[in-house]
Amino acid sequence: MAATDDPGVWDTHFDVAVIGGAFSGASVATLLRRSRPDCRILIVESSERFDRKVGEATVEVSGLFLHRVLGLYDHLSRHHLPKHGLRYWFSDGPGRRLSEMSEVGSSQVPRLPSFQLDRSVLDEHLLRVAADEGCNVIRPARVLSVDHEWPASRIQIEDTSGRKQVTARWVIDASGRHAFLARRLRLRQRVEEHPTAAVWGRWHGVADLDGATFQRCDETAEGLPPVVASRRLATNHFCGYGWWCWVIPLAGGQTSIGLVYNKRLFQVPGEGTLRQRFEKFLRSRSGLAELLADAELDHEDFMSYSHLPYKTSRYIDRGWALVGDAASFMDPYYSPGLDHAAISTFATARLIARDLAGELDDEALDARVTQHNDDFLRSYDRWLQALYVGKYELMGDAELLACAFLVDTALYYMGVVTPIYADEELTSLANPVFGVTLPQAKIAFLLTRTFNRRLQVLARHRRRVGTYGRANVGQSRGLRPFALGPAAALRPLLQGGRIWLRLEVERWWHLLRHGSGSRSVTDAAPVSSSSR
């Protein structure tokens, strides 16, 4: 998609100029055109073709956004794979086969639609949708500068034919981690309290988890126990202390595999380049070694981020806004990135559409801007503290992580998924997680944070006494799919609660018998930080 041949598109005024045409940029432009068909929108996309990126799985909210808000179910069903929930694998050290490892995951097909995405394919489709809705798309082109003035900012753009200038009432930054506006406005802040990094790539020839090699054909044969759901179509997590690996299948036959780790707890071992260490590490892990026995890493499709989480001090002001990864990023665990992109995009489009319709005077617009900033900034801090800070201490223990997964997901269904799915107008999709000023949002945040901190206390205790990871071999925990409604979420909540109470009782019993002094876990112990 190139710039229109009509020279009148240049040196003229747009209602909205969007920097970046991938998921967030194309989505916000499409929503604005649908709500205000008369508004003029320009999308400036720097790439000739989208590359592959982290964000290859939807969860329930982002799946609903793509399906019900953007109307992309046909595209999703034809060009991407259905996602069969989350699945976890644990081991007590290298050399274990998949059939020996402890497994936690759904035994049935999920009830709500979600997908394993090829992001380059999805982003290309979304940009075409935006163009079909009447947005002006120029590509490849880059924004050189934005001189912000209200109500008309000047934007300098360079494409293959040279430099040009346009003006726009609103400039929306959807440039992802490049964060064009956030960096230039000095809004971006590196988040040090959750020091995670990631490295990932695409693989050819990864073994099929649902294939005959891994299945138990009869009661006497070795293999994985039967489940109705597809193991391969799940987002599979191979977990260890301080780290986890995702394994995500893609419709084209490749498999995305990434390693995410807390830098204070774990570093990619070995010598050589990061790519060499990454590949060697994966091939040495229990379970992954079997999946990758005949697989090959695409050396041209390999990426890494040395530090993942960041945020901005504002999301919006008069005449400009940040959406998706241009505003913030937290952690790929639980796939919150596309949820945040969907919610921030939806909320921003609604606010700007009201301004373009003339529904907001200056005082009302300033009030909405203040509320938008407060809600999203509060959401980020609460979301990070409740779910992610300290989480990687649990990653190597099947009992602790299963407990956290059950409770976290049950609360997500109760407090986020069910209200949005029950809202026919989808107005609640504009409310960031934990972000609104309602008492129940604060209570949910405090309960979730307290619960996860207790699990971290248990993790440290279990490492001290040598019981960390004791259930990492030979156990299979089949779970029912999560469903809408408080009653449906109560079952997994109680399941997780029972695990938690049992572990708390064990800790207190141990303290009563032995006191607080106990031996420390070392690399020579049965379950070590380097082997899990």
pLDDT digits (tens, 9 = 90+) for 138-148: 999 999 999 99
State how far the Cα of 349 lies from the Cα of 16, in Å rounded to an integer: 11
Q: How confident is the model at residue 402 (pLDDT cuts 50, 70, 90)?
A: very high
pLDDT higher than 70, residue 467: yes
Class of domain 85-115+192-305 (CATH, top level) = alpha beta
Residue 528 has pLDDT above 50, yes or no: no
Nearest C-alpha neighbor of 325 from the set 333, 317, 336: 336
C-alpha span between 420 and 441 (Å, rounded): 14
Strands (E), 318-404: 320-322
Q: Count CB atoms within 10 A of the CB of residue 108.
A: 14
Name residue, tokens 């694998």: 89
The per-residue pLDDT for 54 is 63
Decide if pLDDT at 106 tops 50: yes
Integer Cα distance of 390 and 407 in angstroms? 16
Peptide bond into 151 cis (omega under 30): yes
Quickly tell me which residue has 């990126």 as its tokens. Answer: 53
* Tens digits of residue pLDDT in 381-396: 999 999 999 999 999 9
Q: Assign residue 55 a region: left if phi > 0, alpha if psi is -120 to 50, beta otherwise?
A: left
The Cα 97–Cα 389 span in angstroms is 31
Domain with CATH 3.50.50.60 in the chain: 7-57+119-190+310-382
Q: What is the pLDDT of residues 220-242, one digit of tens each?
A: 557 898 899 999 999 999 999 99
pLDDT at 517 (0 to 100): 56
User: Exposed/middle/buried for 524, CB within 10 Å: 0-12, 13-18, 19+?
Assistant: exposed
So what's the pLDDT on residue 222?
A: 76
- For the stretch 4-52, pLDDT in tens is 444 444 558 999 999 999 999 999 999 999 999 999 999 999 999 887 6
On the question of pLDDT at 438 being above 90, the answer is no
524: confidence class by pLDDT, cuts 50, 70, 90 = very low
> What's the half-sphere exposure (Cβ side, CA atoms, 13 Å) at 174?
32
Tell me the three state secondary structure of residue 425.
coil
Report whether pLDDT(406) > 90: yes
Task: List C-alpha distances in Å: 434 to 4, 57, 375, 412, 449.
Answer: 42, 22, 8, 10, 11
Q: Which CATH architecture has domain 7-57+119-190+310-382?
A: 3-Layer(bba) Sandwich (3.50)
Residues of the chain with CATH 3.30.9.100: 85-115+192-305
pLDDT at res. 97: 94
The confidence score (pLDDT) of residue 183 equals 95
Predicted local confidence at residue 75, as pLDDT:
97
Burial (CB count <10 Å: 0-12, 13-18, 19+), residue 432: buried
pLDDT tens digits for range 306-342? 999 999 999 999 999 999 999 999 999 999 999 999 9
Distance between CA atoms of 374 and 370, rounded to whole angstroms?
Answer: 6
